[in-house]
């Protein structure tokens, strides 16, 4: 059996958080599956349509998660092609119990890049399998909450479209309440339990050694957690203070994202009774070690 044809169309939206731009993946041929249509740039819509051969059509549009740099072009592409948009759900779908509780208690902030208008035509769930026309292989849906509650990865045999969950060039932003550190770690561990040949992420180049990258990311987060705990043991502080103390090697433009990552560790530590905070957690709320 021939392998499914893969094409990448990179969007022209480079930034510190999107790297060289969003990767839109075209899977199969004839009736093509589009994974992550990308940002709402007319030139990117044209580039996706231009990547199709004469006689080819888009059969379905899958969105890994409802961040605008992945999802915003879904509706224009659906209109242009007649293909349905498939995803886990709207931007808040899959939010963890912890984050749902914190939002109800008045937690503010987060929501960076969330596509609040996003509405898929049909919902995908963990374990769903989608046929690729002309191929024996199926696309397997893997729910990987963490970066966002509704984040999906798509497996094609041992190849994984990893969205923003696992990338080679950067770690993932885990910003509460859309992001949840415990869920993110669990999703990494779940992927690490399987054999993979290659990851094709939402930004940057392919990850050629997925097992090593997963191990590195898990170790990195455990080390960050240890740094947060050590800093808290020295003296109480809020997420922004702690990020300044811990992320000494990060450019100032990324400090807000680093602070959100630290807050996600602090909330996770609080849930495990290893840290505490009076009132509702926030970037400026002081936490202390327990
Ligand atoms: Zn994202």
Inter-residue long-range contacts of 218-225, CB under 8 Å, 24+ positions, other chains counted: 218/185, 218/188, 218/189, 218/192, 220/171, 221/171, 221/181, 221/184, 221/185, 221/188, 224/261, 224/262, 224/265, 225/265, 225/268, 225/269
Q: What is the pLDDT of residue 133?
A: 83
Question: What are the residues whose beta carbons fall under 8 Å from the beta carbon of 268, sequence distance 6 or more?
Answer: 180, 181, 182, 225
Q: Are 135 and 1 spatial neighbours (Cβ–Cβ below 8 Å)?
A: yes
Query: What's the gap in Å between 164 CA and the centre of ligand 1?
Result: 5
Question: What are the residues whose beta carbons fall under 8 Å from the beta carbon of 100, sequence distance 6 or more?
Answer: 177
Q: What is the pLDDT of residue 159?
A: 97
Query: What's the gap in Å between 221 CA and the centre of ligand 1?
Result: 18
Query: What's the gap in Å between 183 CA and the centre of ligand 1?
Result: 15
Query: What's the gap in Å between 65 CA and the centre of ligand 1?
Result: 7
Report the C-alpha gap between 73 and 287 in whole angstroms: 40
What is the pTM (predicted TM-score) of this model? 0.95
Q: Which residues of the chain have pLDDT under 70?
A: 1-2
Residue whose C-alpha is closest to residue 153's, from 88, 102, 221: 88
Query: What's the gap in Å between 275 CA and the centre of ligand 1?
Result: 28
Query: What's the gap in Å between 171 CA and the centre of ligand 1?
Result: 11
| pLDDT one-digit tens code per residue, 55-112 | 999 999 999 999 999 999 999 999 999 999 999 999 999 999 999 999 999 998 888 8
Q: What is the pLDDT of residue 2?
A: 57
Query: What's the gap in Å between 173 CA and the centre of ligand 1?
Result: 8
Residue whose C-alpha is closest to residue 13's, from 60, 72, 74: 72
Q: Are 226 and 244 spatial neighbours (Cβ–Cβ below 8 Å)?
A: no
Query: What's the gap in Å between 162 CA and the centre of ligand 1?
Result: 11
Query: What's the gap in Å between 130 CA and the centre of ligand 1?
Result: 23
């Amino acid at each position: 059996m021939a392998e499914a044809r893969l094409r990448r169309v990179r969007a022209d939206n480079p930034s510190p958080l999107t790297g060289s731009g969003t990767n839109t993946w075209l899977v199969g041929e004839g009736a093509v599956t589009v994974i992550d249509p990308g940002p709402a740039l007319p030139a990117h819509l044209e580039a996706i349509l231009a990547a199709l051969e004469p006689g080819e059509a888009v059969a379905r549009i899958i969105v890994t998660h409802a961040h605008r740099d992945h999802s915003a072009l879904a509706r224009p592409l659906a209109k242009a092609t007649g293909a349905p948009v498939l995803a886990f759900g709207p931007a808040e779908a899959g939010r963890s119990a912890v984050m749902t509780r914190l939002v109800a208690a008045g937690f503010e902030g987060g929501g960076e890049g969330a596509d609040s208008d996003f509405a898929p035509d049909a919902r995908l769930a963990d374990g769903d399998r989608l046929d690729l026309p002309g191929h024996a292989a199926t696309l397997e849906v893997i729910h990987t909450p963490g970066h966002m509650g509704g984040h999906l990865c798509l497996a094609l045999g041992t190849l994984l479209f990893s969205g923003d969950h696992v990338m080679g060039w950067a770690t993932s932003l885990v910003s509460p309440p859309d992001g949840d550190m415990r869920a993110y770690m669990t999703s990494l561990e779940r992927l690490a339990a399987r054999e993979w040949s290659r990851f094709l992420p939402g930004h940057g180049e392919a990850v050629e050694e997925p097992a090593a990258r997963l191990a590195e990311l898990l170790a990195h987060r455990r080390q960050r957690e240890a740094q947060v705990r050590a800093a808290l043991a020295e003296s109480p502080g809020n997420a922004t203070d702690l990020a300044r103390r811990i992320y000494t090697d990060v450019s100032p433009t990324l400090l807000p994202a680093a602070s959100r990552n630290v807050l996600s560790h602090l909330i996770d530590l609080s849930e495990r009774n290893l840290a505490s905070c009076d009132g509702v957690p926030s970037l400026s709320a002081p936490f202390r070690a327990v």
